Amino acid sequence: MKKLFAFLICLQIFKPTFAQNNSLNVEQLQAEVKQGIKQAYNASVRIIAYNSELQSGVGGNFSGVVVDKKGHILTAGHAITPNAIYLVTFPDGRQVKAKGLGVIANADAGMLVITDKGKWPTAKMGWSSILENNIPCLSIACPGSLGLNNPTVRFGYISNKLHDNGYIQNTCLMEPGDSGGPLFDLQGRVIGIHSRIRDVQEDNFETPIDVFRKYWTVLQSPQNHTAFIPEDKFSPDKKAQEKPVPEIAALSSSFKAQNSELQQTVFAVKDSVQKASILCTLVNLKGLFPESDLSGKSFFISKSSEIGEYPTIEVVAGKFVSAKVLNRDEKNDLALLEVSMEINGGVALQSINTDSVSFEEVGNFLISPQPQKEGIMSVLGNRFLAIPKSPAAFLGLGVNFNTDTHKITVTAIYHEWTNGKAENIKKGENDIQIGDVLTRINNEPILTVDGLSKELSKHDIDQSVSLQYTKKSGNTLTKDVVLKHYYVAPSTSVDHFIEGKSQRRDNFKEALVHDGKLNPTDCGGPLYGINGKFYGINIARFSRTTSLAMPTKVIVQFVKESKIIL
């Protein structure tokens, strides 16, 4: 049983909207998505267990949504304990405490109530019984992999209004940390609460909102309800029923005109030795360098960590030409490439607007064009984010918050990544091992995985941190650990999706987040809005829910600091 859990024309940066290929009005749909976000975003919260003694949140986060002025929060039953105290963070950064109320385990329904005084943004509750397949929906929750206080938006549709497991199935990507987060219709009404996933990305399941309506009274009692549970009576408002959008299951087919044009800026690139193929983006450097330096050449940007010393680029189908690496930006994982032939077009970097992305752009539809095939659709889920160092990639330690012991436990040991291969370093008996508990870093308590990552991000490669850890024997040891690069092998059981993450995917000062279902080999290509706006270059598949892109201002700065060699 599966686990639940592009020779070329020059692009303008801003263009009129492309013609659609069917009856679906994509601009209207995008406007409705953004209106739904506006209605629902502020009520979507991040939740973490609260340690009264330390006066701090501890462990891993989950999500929820505030649904009334009394401060009742709906969440997943598996995430809370009745009467336990939790720290709730609103998108604006305000933090309040809440108490766990009722739990109905077999429906995975749970409720909390805010105990601090104040006024809260709320979201309206919808009705799940009047849902239909192909109704658009939004997830606004806090993926655990990002470790952010503000939620991230994902877009999808109802694929099974009532799965045989009793849950709503939909295509909004979820992952651990999203548990308890709300699923909204485009009116911003809660129609489900995130419950569980499987390894297939389309398998995301929600507790129907009608479960909470049915057991509203019972859920206000702080206990685990397992016996006979009295039900509240309610009738759905059929006037509130949303209309299905049959075309939504093949939304990318609505953008054939965009795909045909944008496709001309994306190419396959591979190393002539390693034979690894990813993508690269054709860029036009006119205005940034003297014309004489550019004559007879073409330039591309791609993902540095996947580009060796001898790259080749597929300039036409089946024809690869040798490329030269002009510059690398290891901090942002970018490489500038040159080929000795002139290809017209590309992304005109001189005319790009490099201003910050505004919150109003969250929910915009995006396209990641692919060579010789349909592009990948997504929505902008968040603005510029810092992606900290992960313990796995820089300490060689897989860690997790153990919900039974409430401690940060080592779950995996990874090998050092040296000269393109993993080197197995022999460990001593007192070295950190699987099952050990991490207690302090640089003499500060380790309370969350997020906190550990943020502390690591204060240090560069080859610098050391002091780690305190407790062995299974009970002995507490302290060791200075040097930050290095470690190879983290893909693991479906850990990543929670079959396609897997990019090997280099963190330690970025700025990145854009979207929910494109990229494979690691899809990175290095461009990311556009449906109006042709160039948002940046896809740099990593970060997690089950998230792909990352280097924004335009980073791209332009990197190119300006590079040297074009005659």
pLDDT tens, position by position, 428-457: 778 999 999 999 999 999 999 999 999 999
The residue written with tokens 């000269």 in the block is 419
CA 203 to CA 160: how far, in whole Å?
Answer: 10
Position 55 in a domain: yes
- The percent of residues above 70 in pLDDT, for the chain, comes to 94
Domain boundary (426, 452, 487) is at: 487
Position 416 in a domain: yes
Q: What CATH number does residue 411 fall under?
A: 2.30.42.10
3-state SS, one letter per residue, for 231-286: CCCCCCCHHHCCCCCHHHHHHHHHHHHHHHHHHHHEEEEEECCCCCEEEEEEEECE
Question: Are 282 and 346 spatial neighbours (Cβ–Cβ below 8 Å)?
Answer: yes
Question: Are 164 and 217 spatial neighbours (Cβ–Cβ below 8 Å)?
Answer: no
Helix or strand (DSSP H, E) at 31: helix 26-40
Position 296 in a domain: no
Q: What CATH number does residue 146 fall under?
A: 2.40.10.120
pLDDT tens, position by position, 271-330: 867 667 999 999 999 999 999 899 999 999 999 999 999 999 999 888 999 999 999 999
What's the pTM?
0.93
Backbone angles phi, psi at 451, to 5 degrees: -65, -40
**pLDDT, position 421:** 66
Structure tokens at 435: 């099952």
**pLDDT, position 565:** 61
Position 563 in a domain: no
Position 69 in a domain: yes
Position 284 in a domain: no
Dihedral of the alpha carbons of 506, 508, 512, 514, in degrees to the nearest 10: 0
pLDDT tens, position by position, 328-362: 999 999 999 999 999 989 999 999 988 889 999 99
pLDDT at residue 20 above 60? no
Q: Domain of residue 432: give its range.
A: 391-487
Position 564 in a domain: no
Domain boundary (487, 519, 548) is at: 487
Domain count, the chain: 2
Q: What is the DSSP letter of 215?
A: T
**Cβ partners under 8 Å of residue 500, min gap 6:** 490, 491, 492, 519, 520, 541
CA 561 to CA 332: how far, in whole Å?
Answer: 13
Domain boundary (429, 453, 487) is at: 487
Under the banding of pLDDT at 50, 70 and 90, the label for residue 489 is confident
pLDDT at residue 259 above 80? no
Position 8 in a domain: no
Top pLDDT among 353 and 98 is at: 98
Looking at residues 140-150, what average pLDDT do you find? 93
**pLDDT, position 426:** 67
CA 523 to CA 187: how far, in whole Å?
Answer: 34
Question: Are 530 and 255 spatial neighbours (Cβ–Cβ below 8 Å)?
Answer: yes
Under the banding of pLDDT at 50, 70 and 90, the label for residue 410 is very high
